[in-house]
Structures are given as C-alpha cells and as structure tokens.
Structure 1
Amino acid sequence: LLDFNDNKVISRLEGHSADITCLAYSNDGKILASGDANKEIIVWDIEKQKERIRLKRHRNTINALAFAPEGTPIYGMCLASGSADGTIRFWDPNIDKELVTFASGHNQWIKAIAFDKNGSTLVSANYDGTVDYWSMKSYREIASFIEGECDYASDVAFSSDATRFACQGLNGYKVIFNHGRFGYTLQAVDDNVPNAVKVWSLPTEEELTGPWNKTTSDKLTFSQTNQIFAVHKSNKISGWNLETGNELINIETENTRSIQDIKFSPDGKLLALHGSEYKLIVWNLMTPNPSPIIPKQKSNKYAFSPDGKTLAILSHDFSNFDSVKISLRGINSLLDTKPKIITAKLQGFKHRMIFSPDSTILVATGSKYNEIILINVDSSEEIARLSGHTELIESFVFSHDGKMLASCSHDGTVLLWDWEKITE
C-alpha cells in the first residue's frame, strides 16, 4: 500500500520466489490472487495485507487466473487457474482445497481462461491453438475447437454484456459467441478462401451462413454497443451486423502487416487500427464513407477512456530518449482541436497504459523505470509517481470496485495502491 502523503510504500505483498505472471481480483475486491513461474499461486487477504493460502499443485508456470462470479453453479466465487502443465484447477480461495481439475482438454500450455457473466461456462485457450468450452454445471467439456492449422491461441474474452465470445489465433482463426452461437475459422469455405470465418449455432450445431464466409482475417474485434464485429485482413477492414448479415464497415487500408490490434471506441463511433511500424489509424464510422481522422500517427500504445470521451496515444520522443509523448484527444473534437501533449519520463520500448475506471486519470509505466506515473486527464499534468518496485513492472489492474490498483513486477512482488487515498 502507498502512503500518498510522502509517496512511500507502507505495505508490500512478498512471498513469490519467481517472476509473477498473472493477477486476479475477487469480485468483491477482498481477495487478490497472484501466480508465478515457479508453479505457485498465492491468495492474499487485502484487508489484512497478508498471505491467506498458498496453492502448489500445478506442475508448471501459472499463466492465467480468474475468479468465478458469485452465482456460479456448485462453487460460487471459486478461483480458477490455468497452467503450462495443461490443466485448469479450481480452488476454494479460503482454504487450501482443490475442488476439481480439468485435464482432458489441452495437451500443451494453457494461455488464457475466462468465465462468462453468470459463471455457467468457462472458456480456455491453448498455445497449440485449441479452444475448449466447459460447463460449470456438469464440469464437463461441451466443445473443443481444434480443426485446421491454428498454431497459437493468444487470448480469450467475453464481451462486456456476456453475449459474445472471441478467440484470437495467429493464423486468422476466430471463435465468436453471440446469443448462444459459436463461430470459428475451421477450414476454407472453398478453395479460393483459405482460413475463412464461419459462424455456428451452438444449441443447434447448425452453421449460420453470411458474408463473413467469404473473407479471412488476422485480427477481430467486437463493438461494445452493437451486434457488430469487424475483421482486418491485408488491406481491408470489413464489419457486419451478426443478426442481419448486413455489411456496415468496408474500409480500404494499406497492405499492413504485423497488426497489433483493431478496436472500437466504447460508443462504437470510432474504429482504431494499430499496425506495423507503430502506426495508429482512427476512422469515424458515423460518416457515409469513413476516412481517417487520425492518419498514421506514431504510437507505441493507445487507450480509449471508459467513458468514451478521451483517446490517449503514447509515442517515443526521439529528441529525448528518456521520455515519451502522450497526446490526449477529446473524441468529440478530434478534427477541431489540437491534442494536449504531455512529455513523460518513461524510458524504454515496452509500455503499459490504462485509464482509471472513472476516466479522470491516466496510468502508465515504461520498461526502464520501475515507477507508475499518474496523469490528470483534465489538466494534463503528472500528479504522482508510485515507487516501490525494483524491477520491470509487468502489469497492473484495478479492482472491480475501483478502490485498489494492483501492480506486479519481475522483482517478484505485488504492490497494492489505495486508489482513494491517491486521488484525494
């Protein structure tokens, strides 16, 4: 914990003997779980600031952690862990008790796991490209998507309203879940469309045909406010309404390689493409023929604020290699006003940047400094530096109630920052 008056750490969670690889808060914010490269999980009591239990039954690196929602059948609020040993284990976070183990789905490292909103299902993704869908009622595998040549499944996530699910693979393979439907790239629809996208109804196991059957993709994203998904491939972005099949987005781009991501703004009005050579392009989707309103801006990292009002873009300041430039742009006035430019001391080429849950503060760090900086969005001024880690900060995340920020580092520690005191 940080004493904001003198910017000193007054409580540090120590106990890991190897790099911390993942973090997860319980839904009530009272418990924090951390996993490491030494096969251990530590469950921390946030209020008492001490270790509650230590879980050691995995046989390889812990890659993913997730708490089940409170209403999960049988074991509400249990902790799930995915490991490089190929298993998913479920734990009672109050005692050292393993509840159940899923071991049949993955033969290689598990990369990511996610519960749906009501806790009835769990999805897991593997480095060999397989994606498994589990029932939390029967604790059995419902489906396993392993066809084709998807060599690496890098992430899984549910949409914010729990009606859609996506899996990203490097060879253009996707899984899409929408109102009980699964869609995934299985094989070519015909010889002219390798790695085409397919959409399926999970309850009926029938294919839902549509124009997406005639396209391929290397990146995919969901709109948060509409039943829309968009895909990028080579020099084109396409998007459709999954209910009607109507094409809503058709944007020609350069033949861009090494796409890092494609993302809608929270209100669905903007679409951002982060491509090779650290170029960011943003389109206004509200115009009949969308044209870039931010064309090819240098960007190492970008983030939309949760309230949809601000776009933050971080880029290197090549006139001063000890610093980066962060531009803050009001989304409603991207064309009319110049961005606010902030110069921040964040050396290195690996950066992380997120907004606070209320969108008022930007949180960022760099690979060569062991500090987290806080920037006030309205004033564009740095308001604090959070010091305490001694090595590279790997990740940080806010608790569900927004009252706590947790950061983990290569120094093997997790630090908890009292966000309410920091922002007083």
Structure 2
Amino acid sequence: MDFINNYGSSDEEDNSTVDNTKSTSTLMTVNSAPDTGFDISTSGHLYTAPTATELTVNVTYDDLNRPTLGPENPFQDRRLATQNVVNGHVEQQAISEMDFRTQHRTFETYGYARDPSLGTATNLAGQTGQGLMGTGYVGNLEVAAKLGGVSIYDRVSQDLRPNRDARNKRESKGKLDEVEGPDAYKGPWAGYEDDNVGIATGLNQEQIEDVQAIINPAKALTTKNIAQETHTESTIFHGASERDYLGRTYMAVPQDIDVNLLGESGEQECFVPKKLIHTWDGHEKGVSSIKFFPKSAHLLLSGGMDNKVKIWDVYHDRSLLRSYIGHTKTVRDIAFNNDGTKFLSASYDRNVKLWDTETGQCIRTFSTGRLPYCVTFNPDKSKNNVFLAGYSDKKIVQFDTNTGEIIQEYDQHLGAVNTITFVDDNRRFITTSDDKTMRAWEYDIPVVIKYIAEPDMYAIPAVTLSPNKKWLACQSLDNQILIYGARDKFRMNRKKRFAGHLIAGYACKPGFSPDGRFISSGDSNGNVWFWDWKSCKILKKLKAHDKVVTNTEWHPHESSKLATCSWDGLIKYWD
C-alpha cells in the first residue's frame, strides 16, 4: 500500500513543490500608498481647504506652512529664507509688557535678567558662576546664582539683600540765597553723588557729555575751550617790502587817491556796476567768504577752500599782500574786529583762530570740539574783545579773546547755527539756524526774547544788515530774499521780497549798496543779481563766475564798486 500512498498526479507534485517553497522563503510587502510622515487621525492638526479665505480658529505657524499634498520638501527651508539676511540672522521674539518691565527693573537693581529668548529659566540657587551658561539668565551671573535668579518682585532673604550703605547719597539742596557756585540752591532737583559714574561704555565724547548734562542739569554748562596750541601756524608776505620809505605797513590808509577813505559810508549816490576791472587769482580752490577792511576798505580779506586766508590790496597794484596758513581744512567764515588790527577765521578743522592782520601771527586758537559755522565780533567798543561763534551742535558760544575762556553759552536752537547778526545798537543779536527759525537774544543773557517760525519758512543760511541798521536781508532757501525789521518787533516786511535767482541750497550772502538803494546777491549758476530796494524789481543780471557766487561785497566809499567771490577760486572787482 506504500506505493499507493506515494502515488500522485503531476498536479499534486507541482502543488507540493509550491508549498515547500512558501515554507522556506520570506515574502516582500509592497505598499502603494507611502506614509506622508504624520497620521491625520492622531496628529490633532487642523486642515482646511486650499481655497479657504477665513479661519475660525487660531492655526499654528507650522500648520499654515504644511504642504497641501504629499510630504514636505527636505531641500527647502522656509524659515532660513526669511531669517538669513545681509546683516545677520533674524529671529522674532515676543514678550509681554509686564514681563519686560519686570526683567528691566531686575537688571537695573541686581545686574541680571532672564534671557527673553528662552521660555522658562531654571533655578540658579547653589550653582557657581562657571556653570551658569545656558541657564537662561544674562548679565551678572554670579549675582544671579547667589540670589537664586529672583526677580524684583520676589522676596530675598535678609543676608542676600544689597547693602544700603553702598547706595549713592543725595547731594545737598544748597542755600536759598545762593544762585551760582558750589552752594547754589538745587532744592528737589539735587542729584546724587557720583552721578556720572556708570555711563555705558562705547559712547563717544559728545554722547557722554549729553548723558551727563541730562543726569546733572546743574553741570550742563560744561563747554570749554579745548584748543591745543600747535604752533604750526605760519605766514607769507608776498609784497616787495613790508614797510615803505616812511615806515608804514599796508595797514596805513592810502592818501594818494581821489577817494576819501576816512569819510562816512553812503555819502555818495551809488550805481549798478557794469564791467569787470580786476581779478584776484591766488586761491587754489574755491573762495568761501570775503570782507573789506573796516571803515577804509583799502584791503580785502578772503578765506578759501585751500585752507588759507589771504589779504589783498584794493588800490595801487592790487596784489596779494599776505597769506595766513594754519588751518588744515576749508575756511568757512572770517570776521574783522572794529579797527581791523585782528581778525577771526573759522574752519572745518573745528578751530577758530585769532590772527594779527599786520604781522600774520596767530594770537590764540579756540575750539569746543564742534564745527564752527559763523563768527562775529561784538561791535561795541567796550566789548570788542568778545566774539560769538555758531556751532554745528546748535549752540552759540561766547569767547573772550583776552583770556581764551568761554563766558556765555546760548543753547535754544534745534539745528546748526548759520548766522549771527548784531542789531539794536549792539544790545541784541539775531541768529538763524537749520531748524528753519530765527531767534533774537539779549546780549549776554541766554534767553530768547523773540522766536520767529512760520510753517512755510525755509532755512536761512545768510543774513546781511542794511546800512541804516533798520533791516535784515535774509537769503531763504526757497530762492528769495526776505526782509525783517532789525528793531524791537523783528517782523517780516511783507512788501519787500526779492526773487528770480536760484541758490539751490547754497549760502549766497546778499549785499547792500552803501546808500541802501540796491541789493545784490549771487546765485548757483555764477550770476550776480541786482534789485531796486524801493520797487523790488530786477535791475540787472550779470554773468560773473563759472560756479556759485558765495558773496557780494559793496565798497563803502565807492559809488559802484563791487567785489564778488566764487567757488571757481576767483575774486572779481566790478565797476
């Protein structure tokens, strides 16, 4: 029967073979739907239709940026695209207002605060300063470890509280009858001792002074003459001899001409100049300012962008007489004293220098560390040793040339001071600034007595006083010359307006004829314009230079003589 049991058909043999194979091999599972990385039913994420325009619940940022279908692209990182910028790596953080103020006060009191980039901070009690990195606090980590990372509102044990004796003590209130000096009355505004200690490092000197002025208002007047005597100034005399056969220098007023240079200005009738009679060519670069010698006007002083000041002869051979060398940058403004024996030069090297006109010696240097934009002597005979300088830090500083000290400071402007003009018998002066205002001051009193500001006003970079001392010609940056009264009320004269020229942001100083009949001004195209004072009509337009004309100076004793200077480096004399 064995052979019957062993007998089988061919189909049975095939089946037995297949069965044996299945028992000895491993099957491979093929999944036609790959896993996308998360299970919709268990993930708890909110999914919306791609075309939905409104969401009724708050959706996380990750859910909003998930792909619509399929897995995320492993080669695309949306976060890095917005975080990596040119200046570095940007990460947005959010902190509540109360938490911020708490940590800010904690840092001011204890010197440490919780790191806002971390959610929660661990307890620091018992840890040393070496093991505090990564604990979630910034600042003085040793104090943070000592106090256990408490905030300003948490209780601190008695032995860990700051020492009260180490706190700054309040300054004395002072005496009621004292106004100035160390015992001046401060009252409730008295500061604390060593208030200037602890100012953040990394600030420049100007920022530190501003912070100290805010901390201690009683010491706000801290401007000093910080000029260092360099003794590098020099002078060059360009004439044949410094003295003539009578021993006179070029300071002597010439008597061999047919013009009375010692007479009063404006006695003769003036006319508009017609032709060029002389050109002074000595500056290597542009000329910023020119001034005639006081009263006689037989000399002409010029300050240039080649860092030099030069003085020229107006009569005789009209040659260059002397060069004053000492500045390292452009000379912006110059000013004579009453008798012309001395003059000031203000430069972009932050220095104001006082020169002897005859010998070329630099008498003294003045500096506050800021840029001086304008300088002028006090015209009063008894106060001619005092001059005012307008600076880029919005201040007008009053210097004494005898001592070199600062005796007063006027600080009310909100922009750089451009001009200073004495009016009203030298009892007051008018200043203009980049803050588009005009302010009138009582001399030696740092309080504004008149504030002129209109919504349509522009900055005034140049001002000239009329010969009769009643009017101020103000060059406005909206291409017109405005006239203000130079008496008590300082009001604008609405009937006087001179326009037609283009100054395009340049400081083109206007000029008055000695008799007051004409007013002149340069423009940005090298032209000189003349207007009639009464009718305000344009009388003449003269092509004078190739570049902007910065100044027009009328000769006080000639009927039609006019000097102009320009950025082309030339000074021209017209008749």
Larger proportion of strand: 1
TM-score, scaled relative to structure 2: 0.39
Larger proportion of helix: 2
TM-score, scaled relative to structure 1: 0.49
